[in-house]
Amino acid sequence: MKTCSIIDSLRDTFSIPEDDPLIIAGPCAVENRVMFEETAAVLKECGVRLMRAAIFKPRTSPLSFQGIGEDGLDLIRETSRKYNLGMVSEAMEISHVGVLEKTVDMVQIGTRNMHNYSLLKALGNQSKPVLLKRGFMADSKEFFLAAEYIRQGGNTNILLCERGIRTFESATRNTLDLNLVPITHISTDLPIIVDPSHGTGRSDIVIPMARAAIAAGADGLMVEVHPNPAKALSDGLQSLDFSSFTRLMHEVREMWRAVHSSVLYSDR
Ligand code: PEP
Ligand code: MN
């Protein structure tokens, strides 16, 4: 199997065992201390080492919850320390980059900003690893070239994320393009994780698509989990509750071990 140095260094820094996939999980957005800490405690119990910690939210409607903004920075720092979790948070504009570089462990670029080249360049000039999500209208070449914008700045710690693309299918929010997983391994030296939450938009099919992503050779997953999805301020329909998330962790670990320890996994 190909070694991916960012994966090795994340495993090292956050003590992620070799027989586990890389999991980044947590609410769509940091809403308040109670829900954030409650989620952190469950993640910790499930063996997750990296938490979603979005405070700047790119929302389709300007009337929807836009994230708690810089008011959430202290909460992220405190929760990270208290639960010993690495934090991953999205930068939507260049002014967010410096703020997040000081606070979190990985800076995320969301689907809407994959084509924002000045933002990508700013990510190339800072020290934290970057989680780059695929643009929902971007083909694989455009996606890989977006990563190149970051790399050109000197930052080679880049983790790609397939999160679904827009198609004619209306049963799901996006179409999760698992073809991209082996294509990434064939065409690039970058690792790739899969986000079955945004990729489906429906909590009832997140677990099977998470298993499928691992079977396809994904290096890990990004998953939305919320203490009470029905009350979530964003993306409740696709967020898992704690018991479903616990089941997901069990099933994807089983899948990871089956795939990585057997002849099933001979094509990488
Ligand atoms: C997210 O992960 O918080 C998010 C907004 O996802 P995407 O950019 O893939 O829509
Ligand atoms: Mn979301």
- In this structure, are residues 104 and 87 in contact, taking their beta carbons and an 8 Å threshold? yes
Residue nearest to atom 10 of ligand 1 (CA): 111
The number of the ligand 1 atom at minimal distance from the alpha carbon of 133 is 9
Q: How far apart are CA 194 and CA 9, in angstroms?
A: 19
Which of 180, 177, 163, 170 shows the shortest CA–CA distance to 235?
163
**What is the pTM assigned to this prediction?**
0.97
Write the CATH number of the domain with boundaries 20-266.
3.20.20.70
Residue type, 164: G
The predicted pLDDT at position 263 comes to 65
Ligand 1 and 133: CB distance under 6 A: yes
User: pLDDT in tens for each of the 268 residues of the chain?
Assistant: 455 689 999 999 999 999 999 999 999 999 999 999 999 999 999 999 999 999 999 999 999 999 999 999 999 999 999 999 999 999 999 999 999 999 999 999 999 999 999 999 999 999 999 999 999 999 999 999 999 999 999 999 999 999 999 999 999 999 999 999 999 999 999 999 999 999 999 999 999 999 999 999 999 999 999 999 999 999 999 999 999 999 999 999 999 999 998 766 665 5
Question: Could you tell me the distance, in angstroms and rounded to a whole number, from the CA of residue 224 to the centre of ligand 1?
Answer: 10
User: To test ligand 1's pocket by mutation, which of 111, 165, 200 has the most ligand atoms within 8 angstroms of CB?
Assistant: 111
The predicted pLDDT at position 1 comes to 47
Q: Which residue matches tokens 């080249």?
A: 117
Q: Could you state, in order of their start, the residue ranges of all structural domains in the chain?
A: 20-266
The number of the ligand 1 atom at minimal distance from the alpha carbon of 57 is 5
The predicted pLDDT at position 5 comes to 87
The predicted pLDDT at position 54 comes to 98
- In this structure, are residues 204 and 34 in contact, taking their beta carbons and an 8 Å threshold? no
Ligand 1 and 54: CB distance under 6 A: yes
Ligand 1 and 26: CB distance under 6 A: no
